[in-house]
Amino acid sequence: MAYIEKKKVGGKEYFYLSKNVRVSKDKWKKIRKYIGTDLKNLPEAAKEIELIQPIKRLLTLKQMKIIELLKEGYLKKHKTGKSLWKTEKEQIISFIYNTNAIEGVPVSYEDTKHILEGKKPEEEYAKRDIKEVKNMKECIDFLFDYKGEFDKNLLLKLHSIEMKEVHPEAGKIRTKQNIVGNYLPPRPEKVPTELDAFFSWFKQAEKILHPFELAGLVHLKIVRIHPFMDGNGRISRLLMNHILFKNNHPLLNIYNSEKMLYYMVLKEVDAKKREKPFIKYLCQVYINQYKKYLVQDK
């Protein structure tokens, strides 16, 4: 429960709204929101402080060191930006193929490549399937160029590109309940508040967490909120990689061939209400993908 604190500085009184939050089994942290010299802003402060969530570090120092070594080795050969369409083209095509395949899009890797290169695919596909491949490339190009804030407007814009001519509610927050396997996302009327809490958390977390932790948690939190009727998994993986690219880290690809493990880890998060196993899983996937960059030049 939040409570009001008063401080006197130079003869003037200043009011704060404070709240104690649990950060571990036996550890609490005080968070504080400035109200002003009177209490007229108390309702707004109360609303904002309820959105604040504790920030916990989930990577070990050893894991962070390995990820930084991967980044260092990768940046000796590549720049994270649009130039990756030339230097790491196969990797980006692989990401588009895998992120779509995880969600059931039947376009093969070779035909994904053909579509992205403007060639005719070898197999026949529904118009929607081909559009989902093209839309994913447009999402990636949009993020490479994007210099704005990480906020709700970005989320809606990205979804509008992803689901363009694919879903009638492209770029719109869902107003109906959806179910993902055995997971029941928040009720539709709660989604706006959940998103407000998420972006409030992000503003704090980006100042505290390692970029890899931040990217992984962005993925996890968005996919748990499930703000849209369709496209949530792909949006979460796009935003995860947006954070990585923004911080000069290479792309993280979750392969369709390993999706059962991916889903199992997500289910563990739901069952145990712990985020650390998911970050640990992503870290191991990342290391496996880029372990060649850990080899030091002689």
Fold of the domain built from segment(s) 61-294 = Fic-like fold (1.10.3290)
Residue 22: the pLDDT is 58
Distances (CA, A) of 16 to 20, 51, 67, 197: 13, 16, 39, 20
Burial tier of 24 (Cβ tally within 10 Å: 0-12, 13-18, 19+): exposed
Angle between helices 127-145 and 109-116 (to 10 degrees): 60
- Counting DSSP H helices and E strands in the chain, the numbers are 12, 3
Residue 37: the pLDDT is 86
* Domain residue ranges in the chain: 3-51, 61-294
Residue 89: the pLDDT is 96
Strand residues in 258-297 grouped as ranges (E): none
Residue 2: the pLDDT is 77
pLDDT, averaged per 10 consecutive residues of the chain (298 residues), comes to 83 83 61 82 75 80 96 94 95 98 97 97 96 98 96 98 97 94 92 94 92 98 96 98 97 96 92 91 97 73
Q: What is the CA radius of gyration of the chain?
A: 21
Dihedrals phi, psi of 154, to nearest 5 degrees: -65, -45
Question: Which one, of 271, 233, 226, lies nearest residue 254 by Cα?
Answer: 233
